[in-house]
Amino acid sequence: MSAGAPDEVNSFVREAMEILEIGPDLQDVVLNADKKLSVQLRVPMDSGEVEIFMAHRVQHNNSRGPFKGGFKYHPEASLDDVESLANLNTWKTAVMDVPFGGAKGGVMVDPAALSARELEKLTRKLVQGMKEVLGPWTDIPAPDIGTDERVMAWVFDEFSKHKGFSPAVVTGKPLHLHGSHGRDTATGRGVLYAAREFLKASLYTNVRDTSFVIQGFGKVGGWAARFLHEAGGRIIAVADSRGATYNEKGLDIPRLTGHMARGGTLTEYEGGGPILSGPNFLTLPCDVLIPAALGGVINAKMAERLQCKAIIEAANAPTTMDGDKVLRERGIPVLPDIYANGGGVVVSFFEWVQNLQNFQWDDEEVSRKLDRHMTDAYHQINTLATDHKVPLRVAAYVLAVKRVADAERHRGFD
C-alpha cells in the first residue's frame, strides 16, 4: 500500500460514517487498532551468523469475530504498512459478511534472499514470538506477499507444537495438510464473479463482450485472467514487474500461462506484442481495467489519462483519494477493492470452517458457495449505492461500517 493508505482508507470510512450518522465515540472505536505487537526475530543463518528481523502484527477490530489477515514477508513491511492493511481487512471481512475482524502481519525481510532452511527458521521464530496472540478463535493468519502454502504449513506445525493440534489457526495451507479446495484460486475466481455482476448492472453487458487490461499476472491477476478468459472475456493486455504483452484480438491465456510456467517472460510471448509495463500500461484503451498488483497506482494524474470504461480493483488500495475523486468526476465506475478481491478471505473462511468440522468440501461446493457470497455482496452494495446515490466504493464502506458498528453496539463498546 502507498504511504498515505491509512488516511485514504479512513477517509472512505469517515464518509460512510457521515451517511450512517455514527457518533464520535463509536468512530474512535472502529477507526483505531485494538492491538499492535512488534518482535525481534533472531534467526540463525546458513553461514552460522545470527540475523535480526523485525516482525509486526496489528489486530485492528474483532467485534464480528476472530482477527483475520495475512502475513507478508517484504523489506518494506513496516508497522505503518501492516496497520493500514489490518484496517482494510476489517472492512473487507465485513463487506463479505464473514465472521472475522481485521488483522495483518509482516516481517521486514526479502524472502528471495533466504534459503528454504532460513525461511523455515524465520517462520518458526515468528510463530514462537507471536503464539500468544494467535489462535483459531483469536487471530488467524493467511498467505500474503512473500508467503505461500509452504509457509502456512510451517505456521500450523510450529503453533501445534506449542498449543496442540490446531489446523484452524491458519488458512491457505496445502490441500493435503488441512487446506481447502479452491483456496489458491479464490481471489481470482472471486474477481470473475464480481466482474459478471458488475458488468451486468453497471455497463449492461457481460464478460463475453468485454475487453480487459490486467496489471499483474501473479496469484491474483493470473488467475483472474484465466477465469475471465474461460468465461469468454477478451484479455487484450497483461503486465507484471518485468514487462507486458498486448494483443488487440485477445491473448490466449492458457498458452501464455504455459509459456510463463516454462520460464518465459511476457515480453517474449509470441502470441502478443511487447509493450511498456510502466504507468503508461494503465492508459491502454479497454472496457475494464483491472489493477491486480500494486497499491496507489491510480493517482489524480493517472486517473485523468485512463481510457477505460470501468475499473475493477483486484489489488489492495490501487486508487488514491485524489485519483478516486477524479474518477468520480469523470463518471468512471469503480468496483472497490474491499469487495472485488474479497474472494480470498471468503474461501479462507471456508477453510477455517472445514478445519473446525474436520471435514473437506470438494472444489465444486467451494466454487458454488463463493459464487453465492460474491453475488449476494454485490447486490447489497449496488442497492445501497442506488438508495444513497453514491458510488459503489462508498456503498461498500457503508455496508461494512454498518456491520462493524452494529456489532460494537450490541457488544457494548463503551
- Cite the annotated binding site by residue number: 68, 92, 187, 348
Q: Which of 343, 365, 339, 368 is nearest to 354 (CA)?
A: 365
- Known catalytic residue: 301? no
User: Which contacts of 356-360 are long-range, i.e. CB under 8 A and separated by 24 or more positions?
Assistant: 356/136, 356/168, 360/180, 360/181
What is the rounded CA–CA span in Å between residue 325 and residue 376?
Answer: 27
To the nearest 10°, report the CA torsion of 174, 252, 211, 347: -10
Listed in sequence order, the residues at least 6 apart from 188 whose beta carbon sits closer than 8 Å to its beta carbon are 219, 220, 221, 222, 223, 224, 225, 226, 227, 314, 343
- List binding-site positions for NAD(+): 187
130 SS3 class: helix
98 SS3 class: coil
- List binding-site positions for substrate: 68, 92, 348
Residue with grid cell 502481519, as numbered in its chain? 105
What is the rounded CA–CA span in Å between residue 337 and residue 296?
Answer: 12
What is the rounded CA–CA span in Å between residue 56 and residue 144?
Answer: 14
Q: Which of 72, 104, 125, 173 is catalytic?
A: 104
Active site residues: 104
